Structure 1
Amino acid sequence: MTTPATAVPHAPGRLPVLGHVVPLLRDRLGFMQQLRGHGDVVQIKVGPRSVFVVNSPDLIWEMLTAQSANFNKGRLFDKLRLFGGSPLPIAEGQQHLQRRRLMQPAFHRERINSYIDRMGATAEATVRTWQPGARLDVLNEMQLMAQGVVMSVMFSAEPDRDPAQAVMNSVDTVFQAAIRRAVVPVSGWERLPLPGNRKLRAANTLLRRTVSDIVAAHRAAPAPQDDLVSMLLEARDEDGRPLDEDEILSEITALLAAGSETTAVTMAWLFHELGRNADLAQRLHQEVDTVLAGGPLTAEHLPRLVLTRRLVTETLRLHNPGWIVTREANVPVRLGTAHLPAGADLVWSPYALHRDPELYPDPLRFDPDRWLPERPQPPRGAYIPFGAGKRMCIGDAFTWAEATVLTALVASRWTLQHAPGTDVRPVPAITVHPSSLQMIAEPRTPAAARKAA
């Protein structure tokens, strides 16, 4: 049981320090939510380190936009170098700017529309393996589906299920190691020959081999393929030099990992909510049956899938995958009344922010209709599922499109109901994922669903 956060007496003009807590080892989500009641910026102790938690949506927005140059990505992202190199999610300064400009064309909205058919076809390959009445590990199925979409659309690769599962397991191993190393305030054990460290090395070896094979296949192709791998192979820096092999491998590996995790976790939570709200599930089925009319999903359908989109929006609010995001001050900075020294560690929690009762009425209720245009909307900075500013996730539009496609595709074929005895709890790891999500797949029976199958 986590010790309740209690303000320690402090001198006038200084931040409260919350002491005697071990928040990152026990009830992490409850602790982050509890901190919101202690002020706009709160100082906590994590072992020997001081960490500043930013709660105010205005100050979070300021940190990510107007003052973004005063911060680097911080401790958590530094630990994600376990994937190798300094890929886009980790890169800083000029390197980040150059790499983002290089990769941005692959994520333009017009380009994303061209991906829709392949997204649907790739997801269909996973859905086709489901059997009526089968008990599914829904998170695992969504991870395989999302990973397959990234590999197909961005890498022109379509691994079989067993190799894909091995890649997914390796990504999870690296993510688990990254979050552990970010929150545990001791060092040195990473270099010891412990079982966890050996497992991490094996996972990195498999990922490296998988990505190397993808790159080799592209190099051997008679004509370049129209995907992100070809874009990286053809890229040249300001001096006309190509990216070196390690840079290419790092970018592809990081994109494979990041591009699979957020979408998969979001989809798992979405179907969890539909499974315990039959009325919402029925409304979704009616929408996809009407819009798709039994045919394949295309880019033209997306603007008409308005409820589907709101379901994704609400899932990213109530079940935001990010329970902790880090920053580090490059210089002395001021956030509101807080004066923070250079080198200060800062964190903010999208998960806690999106559940704040001062920002959202009845915040723990899953209500996609809160996003209807006629309903009052949260203030700026209160809903930022992909961050903001120059470090906003490059794949946000890709994820919106992918999640909409996957939701509509599954709903057009299947109804997912919770398996008896399933106890679903949020687990804060690299993302907030369901502890266990066992669901029973039942085929849809409406005429439109039968025609689509």
Structure 2
Amino acid sequence: MASSPAGLSVGTPPGAWPLVGHAADLARAPLDVLTCLPEHGDLVELRVMGRRLYFPCHPELVWQVLTDDRTFDRTGPMWTTTRRLLGNGLALRSRQDHRSSRRAVQPSFHHALLRHQAALMEEEITATTAEWHDHQHVDLYAALVGTAVRTVTRALFASRAPREALADLQRHAVAVIDTGLWRLAAPRPLRDLGLSRLRRLTHTISELRRSHGATAGDGIVARLEQAMPAASDRDIAEEVVSLYLGATDTSALAVCWALHLLTRHPADARRLHRELEETLHGRGARYSDLPRLPRTGRVVAEALRLYPPAWFVFRCTTRPVELAGKHLPTGSTVVVCPAAVHRNPALYEDPSAFDPDRWLPDRAAPRRGAYVPFGAGARKCVAEHFGTTQAVLTLATLVHLWDPRPTARTDGRPAHFAAMLKPRRFVLEVRARRTPD
């Protein structure tokens, strides 16, 4: 391990195999490998299939990479492939296109609109759980992704399309969201199989826009049309795809991992249940309840720390740069892994422990770059507050009205080759709670 002039160290973990490098370890136990990266330096080099990947593990380095998009941009072959599979919406644009896209999308997630959007969340959470029965085994991940997709779809189109017309859109959106990391590394013929998913989704979005006239301020799509008057059907469709990617899986996974942690920490589950009993009194959570649900918010924040949904954030250097004293030439791949800093013992006391109280107001806030589940800088997730609001409302409603318990089919280990950090199988038994009359 070498030290930089600024005192930051550069290292490489042992155990790289010929040809594949560290890929075998990453495939076998990805979260374990990524969590241990800080043991090997502040900037850690992994070798994967003949490529050198640089992982910043010090919060200042993480902050530098995430906020300097002039130097660390979304360019290079990997991003070209990703845009080919998922379109060129806000979440995937390179720096030169990002600013204008951000200005068009940002107003749709203004806090003044969140109350109305939260009402949609409440309705869809209620609709999902209304279909459950006592002791039913439920694939919670699939159910919550469905809930999030329906919520986003209604926020996108508002009153412009009837519910039945949105069914195909929702189905195609789930298929696109489920794209795996393996597809990015697969030979081109296999990669291109995913193009049909994107084509079906973009076609359905365009058909809905043509079939249902816009009304001023009516949904996110109408606002995009007003903000992007010269945009083509494809431009609007790709922005919609990007919003699906950013505002669905994140909230669903935050709730899944929170439930996973609560089932393993019954004392924390009891404390959360007491807060919900005192606030909700046998009904689902509402937007107006959020100020009285601080523990629920802390549970979600802690789940996002331990299991950040976007576990890889790729950047490519656009010019030569020094990082932790190491010279990186143009075209180097830098990978921010939030778990590597979120579980770093130099940044968090007992970092592997589930401790929602570490987010109490009187506790010291993490230093910049040490908590980045939604990124940082100009590229910080535009739907951050939308996603966390949905996660808190969903978790509160589920835990208050139901008692989810693991089953033999529950496997909380991270899924292999998934684009997001999700459990392999998350089938839980839901037991209805008996609330007093």
Q: What range describes the TM-score normalised by the shorter chain of this pair?
A: 0.7 to 0.9
Change (3 A) 1:22 1:43: closer
Contact 1:144/1:164, CA 8 A, preserved across alignment: no
2:175 counterpart of 1:170? yes
Change (3 A) 1:92 1:171: same
The one-letter code of the counterpart of 2:287 is: A
Partner SS for 2:327: strand
Separation in structure 2 between the aligned mates of residue 420 and residue 86 of structure 1, nearest angstrom: 41
Contact 1:59/1:336, CA 8 A, preserved across alignment: yes
* CA drift at 1:208: 2.4
Separation in structure 2 between the aligned mates of residue 291 and residue 159 of structure 1, nearest angstrom: 35
* CA drift at 1:159: 5.3
Contact 2:10/2:42, CA 8 A, preserved across alignment: no
Contact 2:414/2:422, CA 8 A, preserved across alignment: yes
Contact 1:79/1:181, CA 8 A, preserved across alignment: no
* CA drift at 1:128: 0.7
Contact 2:344/2:351, CA 8 A, preserved across alignment: yes
2:250 counterpart of 1:250? no
* CA drift at 1:127: 1.1
Match of residue 439 from structure 1:
428
Separation in structure 1 between the aligned mates of residue 9 and residue 114 of structure 2, nearest angstrom: 48
Q: What residue ranges of structure 2 are gaps of 5+ in the alignment?
A: 3-7
Write the deviation string for residues 126-154 of structure 1: whole angstroms up to 9, x where unpaired.
Answer: 11111111001111111111111111223
* CA drift at 1:109: 1.2
Instruction: Give the RMSD, CA atoms, in angstroms.
Output: 2.6
The one-letter code of the counterpart of 1:407 is: L
Contact 1:354/1:382, CA 8 A, preserved across alignment: yes
Match of residue 5 from structure 2:
none
* CA drift at 1:96: 0.9
Write the deviation string for residues 335-387 of structure 1: whole angstroms up to 9, x where unpaired.
Answer: 23122111111112112221112222222221111111233443221111111
Separation in structure 2 between the aligned mates of residue 120 and residue 74 of structure 1, nearest angstrom: 38
The one-letter code of the counterpart of 2:127 is: A
Change (3 A) 1:430 1:59: same
Write the deviation string for residues 147-199 of structure 1: whole angstroms up to 9, x where unpaired.
Answer: 111112233264599757733541244x21xx2254x3xx7x21x3x5x743x
Query: Which of these residues, 227, 234, 257, is aligned with residue 235 of structure 1?
Result: 227
Contact 2:282/2:435, CA 8 A, preserved across alignment: no
Partner SS for 2:347: coil
Match of residue 22 from structure 2:
22
The one-letter code of the counterpart of 1:271 is: L
The one-letter code of the counterpart of 1:278 is: P
Separation in structure 2 between the aligned mates of residue 393 and residue 441 of structure 1, nearest angstrom: 32
Deviates more, 1:296-305 or 1:335-344: 296-305
Match of residue 398 from structure 1:
386
Partner SS for 1:424: strand
Change (3 A) 1:162 1:68: closer
Match of residue 211 from structure 1:
205
Percent identical pairs in the alignment equals 31
Match of residue 131 from structure 2:
129
Deviates more, 1:21-30 or 1:300-309: 21-30
Change (3 A) 1:296 1:137: closer
Change (3 A) 1:159 1:396: farther
2:281 counterpart of 1:287? no
The one-letter code of the counterpart of 1:410 is: L
- Number of residue pairs matched by the alignment: 420
* CA drift at 1:95: 2.1
Contact 1:15/1:42, CA 8 A, preserved across alignment: yes
* CA drift at 1:404: 1.0
Q: What residue ranges of structure 1 are gaps of 5+ in the alignment?
A: 1-6
Partner SS for 1:112: helix
* CA drift at 1:435: 0.9
Match of residue 44 from structure 2:
42
Match of residue 71 from structure 2:
70
Q: Which runs of 4+ in 1 moved over 6 A?
A: none
Match of residue 105 from structure 1:
107
Partner SS for 1:150: helix
The one-letter code of the counterpart of 1:22 is: H
Contact 1:284/1:307, CA 8 A, preserved across alignment: yes
Partner SS for 1:69: coil
The one-letter code of the counterpart of 2:411 is: D
Deviates more, 1:163-172 or 1:208-217: 163-172
* CA drift at 1:431: 0.9
* CA drift at 1:331: 1.1
Match of residue 95 from structure 1:
97
Query: Which of these residues, 306, 312, 315, is aligned with residue 327 of structure 1?
Result: 315
Contact 2:69/2:95, CA 8 A, preserved across alignment: no
Change (3 A) 1:277 1:15: closer
The one-letter code of the counterpart of 2:402 is: W
Write the deviation string for residues 192-250 of structure 1: whole angstroms up to 9, x where unpaired.
Answer: 3x5x743x24322332233223323433x5x34521111122234xxxx5211110111
Change (3 A) 1:243 1:165: closer
Contact 1:135/1:441, CA 8 A, preserved across alignment: yes
Separation in structure 2 between the aligned mates of residue 72 and residue 375 of structure 1, nearest angstrom: 34
Write the deviation string for residues 384-436 of structure 1: whole angstroms up to 9, x where unpaired.
Answer: 11111111111111111111111122223211111246332112511111111
Query: Which of these residues, 225, 246, 249, is aligned with residue 261 of structure 1?
Result: 249
Write the deviation string for residues 3-42 of structure 1: whole angstroms up to 9, x where unpaired.
Answer: xxxx79xxxx995455432324433222222322121112
Separation in structure 1 between the aligned mates of residue 96 and residue 361 of structure 2, nearest angstrom: 39
Match of residue 332 from structure 2:
344
Separation in structure 2 between the aligned mates of residue 303 and residue 78 of structure 1, nearest angstrom: 43
Separation in structure 1 between the aligned mates of residue 166 and residue 216 of structure 2, nearest angstrom: 26
2:122 counterpart of 1:120? yes
* CA drift at 1:84: 4.8
Separation in structure 2 between the aligned mates of residue 64 and residue 180 of structure 1, nearest angstrom: 24
Change (3 A) 1:168 1:98: closer
Contact 2:312/2:338, CA 8 A, preserved across alignment: yes
Query: Which of these residues, 404, 419, 423, is aligned with residue 430 of structure 1?
Result: 419
Deviates more, 1:88-97 or 1:245-254: 88-97
